[in-house]
Structure 1
Amino acid sequence: MDNINKATQEIDLPNIGKPATRALTNAGYINLAQLTQVTELEILKLHGVGPKAVRILNEALKEKQLSFAKNS
């Protein structure tokens, strides 16, 4: 996803801190629904995303009755 597309699309992520948000958006994740396609471990591999951000993301996903993909 190029920067122009990211700028025109609304980012729908909880407040997880600027480094984690930047890491997710740079990887192309701008909304919670996209995170259902990846595992927690894949997200943790992104520089700037730590356990606290993943915990907050998990809580936000659960509120929408969603979850990260299961480890295979």
Structure 2
Amino acid sequence: MINLVIMAKCLSSICAVNHMVKTNQFLSGVIAVPARKSLEREKIDSLEKLSHYSEEEIMKLHGFGKNAMEKLKNHMREHEISFKN
């Protein structure tokens, strides 16, 4: 019986770890989820990192189209950041 209690406690802690929600909300509400996930896959999680890429490089990522790019450029302009040339 004691072994079952110990096992249950171990399993509950494993489940809690596996179901943690990511807190990275970079560009949430600015661009759509597919575009945000593309940036996440490239490890781009700040406007500073984004400024190291050209507009053409970002447009090649899955999930980016004209709409996402316009929204992204407007957001970057508001924060006085731009793509590399």
Q: With structure 2 as the length reference, what TM-score do the two structures score?
A: 0.66
Any stretches of 5+ residues in structure 2 without a counterpart?
1-21
Aligned match of 2:59: 44
Q: CA deviation at 1:30?
A: 1.1
Greater C-alpha Rg: 2
RCO higher in structure (CA 8 A, sep ≥6): 1
Any stretches of 5+ residues in structure 1 without a counterpart?
1-6
Moved over 4 A (4+): none
Q: CA deviation at 1:11?
A: 3.7
Give yes or no for the alignment of 1:28 onto 2:29.
Answer: no
Cα root mean square deviation, aligned: 1.5
One-letter amino acid matched to 1:28: K
Aligned match of 1:13: 27
- What is the aligned residue count? 63
Q: With structure 1 as the length reference, what TM-score do the two structures score?
A: 0.76
